[in-house]
Structure 1
């Protein structure tokens, strides 16, 4: 009598569902821009397949090529790719960045913003600490002590410094590797 090990057995239906999910993951990879694809942990063969997918225009050829991409995803580390893709498409990314800018702007002095700066540098270790501190210092220096009596030039300066800080955080986010 043969015993079946239920831990290793997967039904044909489950295998097909897994293959379909990987094919859909491959299609979502095909829809990404090249700069976004470079941030993902992709194997060389998968990178070449995605590069070739950009040249294919026929619907049927794209469908067949998506099957091929799905197979390449299955052969590579699909869990890591899925996690990186989820991080790339995080809908709360922009909100998190603007919350950090608001926390910095709410600080009285540059030392009060150190915890927020540390959070930013933990999330983006490739960031330049000195540049981040300078942007924070400039934004706090331009901060309005009394918004009602401030001139439009002062208000514009604060907006400009705040925007510089936000742009730097966006740049950090766009260049951060996802693996």
Structure 2
């Protein structure tokens, strides 16, 4: 029988701590599989995960039975033991909008939209300075439509479109001169 080397006190991790760490990874896996497919796809684009783990996450969402899902979740937890949870948790917070940076972006867009509705010239000057590729004519049209919708108590379609356009500009996904 092989003699095991004694571990130093700072290297020793109790069985309870190991189980808690494994459970934490499985819980993180649970959060990932509960995401809607589009959010999961965005998260997988942001975080470098093994192909096996990415496929296991997608497979879970396809499974119909509770027992099959439970086994798949255990498998995901096992795969996640070899993964650093920090980038995954950070990306999950961003996708869920829970990070402070995402909240700040959201508030900045809302303030800019409110400013656009209240003071068109000032807001458009600010937008043009930040994003020279922005289609200011389209923003003016959306502003007029949003104000008209408010007056007539209609659903805020243009109001939301302004926010979406600002988000695309901020994220850099809007094509020059072609936002909508």
Which portions of structure 1, spanning 4 or more consecutive aligned residues, are displaced by more than 3 angstroms?
91-95, 110-113, 115-118, 133-140, 152-157, 159-163, 169-176
Aligned partner of 1:99 among 101, 111, 117: 111
Between Structure 1 and Structure 2, how many residues are aligned? 157
Which residue of structure 2 aligns with residue 16 of structure 1?
Answer: 19
Give yes or no for the alignment of 1:162 onto 2:165: no
Which residue of structure 2 aligns with residue 28 of structure 1?
Answer: 31
1:131-146 to 2 correspondences below 5 Å: 131=135, 133-139=136-142, 142=144
Relative contact order, higher structure (CA 8 A, sep 6+): 1
Which residue of structure 2 aligns with residue 124 of structure 1?
Answer: none
Compared with structure 1, are the counterparts of its residues 74 and 107 closer, same or farther at alpha carbon in structure 2 (3 Å cutoff)? farther
Query: What is the Cα-based RMSD across aligned positions, in Å?
Result: 4.0
Q: Which runs of 5+ in 2 are unaligned?
A: 1-5, 174-180
Q: Distance in 1 between matches of 2:122 and 2:129?
A: 10
Which residue of structure 1 aligns with residue 75 of structure 2?
Answer: 68
Q: Which runs of 5+ in 1 are unaligned?
A: 122-127
Could you tell me the TM-score, scaled by structure 2's length? 0.64
Deviation of 1:161 after TM superposition, in Å, equals 4.3
